[in-house]
Structure 1
Amino acid sequence: MSSGEVIVSVKEMKKMRRGELALLILKYVFLVGGTIIFMLPLVWTLSGSLKPNGEIFTVPIQWIPETFRWENYSNMFSSFPMVRYALNSMIIVFFNIIFVLASSFVVAYGFARFKSPLNGPLFLIVLATMMIPEQVTLVPQFLLFSELGWVNTYLPLIIPSAFGVPFNIFLIRQFIKTLPKELDESAYMDGANSFQILIKIIAPLCLPIMVTIGIMTFNFHWNDFLGPLIYLSSPDNFPLQLGLYSLQGDREGLTDYGILFAASLTALLPPLLLFLFLQKHILAGIKIGGSLKG
């Protein structure tokens, strides 16, 4: 290679490095800018939780309170039974996670490992139910649960999860299909039955995707507002999100938004802490979900 060719190649490498550096800087500017935009509502809520009503909706926005009103966080416990509402939410979330994981896992295992002429059509029917908007089934479900006497109880918010969730069934089935069938065959040869294989072999290997589904289920039912609003009428049964709604007065002037914002931030803590403690499993489940093949 001549000296001229060496100089040209060095210049090209420098140009490539400059281009890669510029692209990297642009990427980080975009990510930081997007993060700031998405964090603004949370920062505004945090700021409003430390202000009196008169300072919250000022224009332009006053991001830093003149005087920090820390008593908003103590007053929220005396303004409404937040602990009771949080416990109600935990009851709903706990049983939904148990039922969703158990039912979806068993059904997905059947679709992934057992061969039958009806396996494919039944799986397509399960996927087809994902195309039905939730709003279409609200009235028939309410009439059904009303006839069963389940209105104003947690049963309409919990029992449907015992029949599996189509999207979760799809995710778990696709993951199980990536596991080598030789594991099942070896276990069969050692005398294990299908249930033992499911519990002792398949379940431990499915931990990342199961944790991810558990987190998604927690977030959905912890933040669910429409379901409790339809089926619950007694304040003693309200979950946290419906309890927060009860903090709003009939007129804007009757609502203490400082306490409402403080309670909203407090309600945000459980999902946030759950993500912080289980983020490794969640990221692993996302990577697995992105690599699944049909």
Structure 2
Amino acid sequence: MRVSAFRASPFTYATLMIVSALLSVPLVFVVSVALASDQTVNTNTFTIIPREFHWENFARVFDTSLPMGMFLVNSIIISIGSVAGQVLSSGLVGYAFARLRAPGKNALFIIVIATMMIPAQITMIPQFILFKELGWVNTFLPLIVPNFFSNAFNVFLMRQFVSRLPREVDEAAMVDGLGFFGVYRRIMLPMLAPALIAIAIFTLTFAWGDFMGPLIYLNDESKMPLALGVQYISSTSAAMQAPPWNLVMVGSILLTLPMIAVYYLGQKYLYEMDLTGGSAGIK
């Protein structure tokens, strides 16, 4: 069977441009509303293409009665803590499942993977009761600490990634006197960089925009992240008055731009993780 390379035609590029333009309409509309004046918000005369450019809205959003700056700092704290927990735990657990020889290892791995089929809504109430008994409600701990126990998807991702790496590397390091943690820290960790960065990106994306977790566990306004703060802007308008949609969209842009930047900077690691199968670390 002969495999030929795909060559894009002008029709292909035209189709991609049309589809990209259609998919970009919501984002352009968000920018248009964010740059609109208060008069446009009150009259509800928005347009998809921006007609007004009130860049001061990006400063006004921090001058509201809500502590938007604190919301932003809280999001950073929660996101960094979550990323650190997932990266530390996923690498170790995935490496252990891929390399350690222990009775019942495969059965335990199947149980871990099976937890992916349990809806989060089922465990929501038991988790809340547990964290309430620990006294963690209205703190960042319920949003950060569970990440230090990894999750099934990240464990599966790391286990499959480590399984592609040659065992001879581990055996050579052990012959030189390194133990399990020594091999992981000095030999495997540099090769696992693409997978760990991918996990960090996935975790950061989820933690940065998480709405349900903070809504359940956080009560004080000073501890809420940006995702909740954006919702609070739309719900604090006076009676019979339209919410300040321009400021709401500014908050939405603040939620979106960091994720776009993170993906732009880390996309090469995502592709490397998927395409090279771990070989990039031993080139």
Q: Settle same-fold status: TM greater than 0.5.
A: yes
The equivalent position to 2:263 in structure 1, one of 252, 256, 275, is: 275
Question: Which protein is bigger by CA-based radius of gyration?
Answer: 1
Measured in 2, the distance between the counterparts of 1:60 and 1:256 equals 13
Native 8 Å contact 2:33 2:46 kept in 1: no
Distance 1:178 1:64, change over 3 A: closer
Whole-Å Cα distance in 2 between the matches of residues 115 and 57 of structure 1? 66
In the TM superposition, 1:51-200 aligns within 5 A as 51-55=36-40, 62-79=47-64, 80-200=66-186
Match of 1:265 among 253, 258, 264: 253
TM-score, length basis structure 1: 0.85
TM superposition outliers: structure 1 runs of 4+ over 4 Å = 20-23, 56-61, 288-291
Letter in 1 for 2:136: W
In 2 relative to 1, CA 69–36 (structure 1 residues): closer, same or farther, beyond 3 Å? same
2:21 alignment partner in structure 1: 36
Q: Equivalent residue for 1:256?
A: 244
Gaps of 5+ in 2: none
What is the distance in 2 between the residues matched to 1:58 and 1:282? 45
Aligned residue number for residue 240 of structure 1: 226
Deviates more, 1:76-85 or 1:221-230: 76-85
Output the CA distance in 1 between the equivalents of 2:75 and 2:277. 28
**1:153/1:60 CA distance change after superposition, 3 Å:** closer
Q: Which letter does structure 1 place at the counterpart of 2:251? A: A
Q: Distance in 1 between matches of 2:195 and 2:69?
A: 31
SS at match of 2:234: coil
Q: 1:47 aligns with which of 15, 24, 32?
A: 32
**Could you list the per-position Cα deviations for residues 41-97 of structure 1 after superposition, in whole angstroms to 9, with x for gaps in the alignment?**
110000111112553598986234443222211211101322211111111111111
Q: Indicate whether 1:216 and 2:210 are aligned.
A: no
Report which stretch shifted further, 224-233 or 277-286: 277-286
Matched residue count: 272
**What is the identity, as a one-letter code, of the residue corresponding to 1:262?**
V
Do the aligned partners of 2:194 and 2:273 also contact (CA within 8 Å) in 1? yes
Q: Please report how far the alpha carbon of residue 173 of structure 1 lies from its aligned counterpart in structure 2 after TM superposition.
A: 0.5
Unaligned runs of 5+ in 1: 1-19
Secondary structure in structure 2 of the residue aligned to 1:248: helix
Give the whole-Å Cα distance in 2 for the aligned partners of 1:282 and 1:63: 33
2:178 and 2:186 map into 1 onto residues whose CA distance is: 10
Q: 1:278 to 1:252 in 2, by over 3 A?
A: farther
**Contact residue 165 and residue 278 of structure 2 kept, 8 A:** no
Structure 2 CA distance for aligned equivalents of residues 213 and 276 of structure 1:
15
Equivalent residue of 2:250, what SS?
helix
Note if contact 2:79-2:204 (Cα within 8 Å) is conserved in structure 1: yes
Q: Is the 8 A contact 2:85 2:148 kept in 1?
A: yes
Residue 189 of structure 1: how far off its partner (Å): 0.9
Structure 1 distance, partners of 2:242, 2:95, is: 53
Give the superposed CA RMSD: 2.4
- Structure 2 distance, partners of 1:37, 1:147, is 49
Aligned counterpart in structure 2 of residue 286 of structure 1, from 237, 256, 274 = 274
Task: Report the AA paired with residue 27 of structure 1.
Answer: T
| Residues in 1 aligned to 2:158 and 2:99: alpha-carbon distance in whole angstroms | 12
Output one character per residue of 1:205-263: Cα deviation in whole Å (capped at 9) or x when no partner: 01011111100100000000000001101000001101111101355724111111112
Q: Scaled by the length of structure 2, what TM-score is found?
A: 0.89
